[in-house]
Amino acid sequence: MRYALLVLESPAAGTSSQAALRFARAAVARGHQVARVFFYGDGVASGNSNSCPPQDETDHVAAWRDFALAGGTELVVCIAAALRRGVLDAGEAERYERAAANLDPAFVLSGLGQLAEAALDADRLVTFGG
Amino acid sequence: MRNLLLLLRASPYRGSRAREGLDAALLFSAFSDNLRVLFSGDGAWQLQAGQSPAAIDAKSIAAQVAAFELYGIDTAGVDAAALDARGIDAATLPAGIVVLDDAGIADWLAWADQVVTVG
């Protein structure tokens, strides 16, 4: 099956981002495809490479990055939601004249159309933190 | 074309969730003609008439709801139980919002190929 996931909650505020990642790993382990994970609302914090969790806690950004690097999954962060919350790539940091870009390179900024497309194309779109 | 149901459950001015849910509804309308939007739970507050969000330095979401018709979203509904629980008079709802009882909501959920809880 071809899945897409929607993540709406920050890893620091709840368990949805972590649950989404475990779901994604389990789906891939069973031979399914996770085509896209769309981070919306507070979920955009999952791509903030400036988060510095204590060493004995899970680094959620790194965990998503490792999952994406294993192949086959796009990590898409909603650009409007990200701008509102200060998660910027180099292009947006320059455009808005902000000091730093902090979007992890494993993630891309894009529009809500990517979510609509996922809702229409994937066999299942599963929401976490809704 | 798949049938999409957007579920909006957030109160209007607690964080950005309601506004971002409505953004998603308006955007989805460009991708699908088979779109329904359902307000439930605290999402019913998004339809409350006479809001004065400037009093808490918030920007009104009313314009986004009012834009549904312009964006071709002609099927939007609200859970009757959510209205009753909050004392919202159905007669004060924005134009075009239908009130659904439990059976009506069950119909909408059965109609949908995909339910997205986004607001």
Q: pLDDT tens digits, residue range A52-67?
A: 999 999 999 999 999 9
Facing B24 at nearest CB: one of A115, A120, A125: A115
How many Cβ atoms from other residues are within 10 Å of residue A28's Cβ?
Answer: 17
Positive or negative, the Cα torsion across A124, A45, A111, A28? negative
pLDDT of residue A43: 97
Q: Could you tell me if A119 and A42 are in contact, meaning their C-beta atoms sit under 8 angstroms apart?
A: no
What's the rounded mean pLDDT across residues B93-100? Answer: 95
pLDDT of residue A17: 95
From chain A, pick out residues whose CB is under 8 angstroms from the CB of B30: 113, 116
Residue B74 has pLDDT above 90, yes or no: no
Residue A25 has pLDDT above 90, yes or no: yes
Give the gap in angstroms from C-alpha B16 to the nearest C-alpha of chain A: 7
Q: What is the ipTM of this complex?
A: 0.93
Tokens representing B119?
């607001």
Q: Could you tell me if B56 and B13 are in contact, meaning their C-beta atoms sit under 8 angstroms apart?
A: yes
pLDDT of residue A56: 95
Residue A72 has pLDDT above 90, yes or no: no
What's the rounded mean pLDDT across residues B37-41? Answer: 98
Residue B61 has pLDDT above 90, yes or no: yes
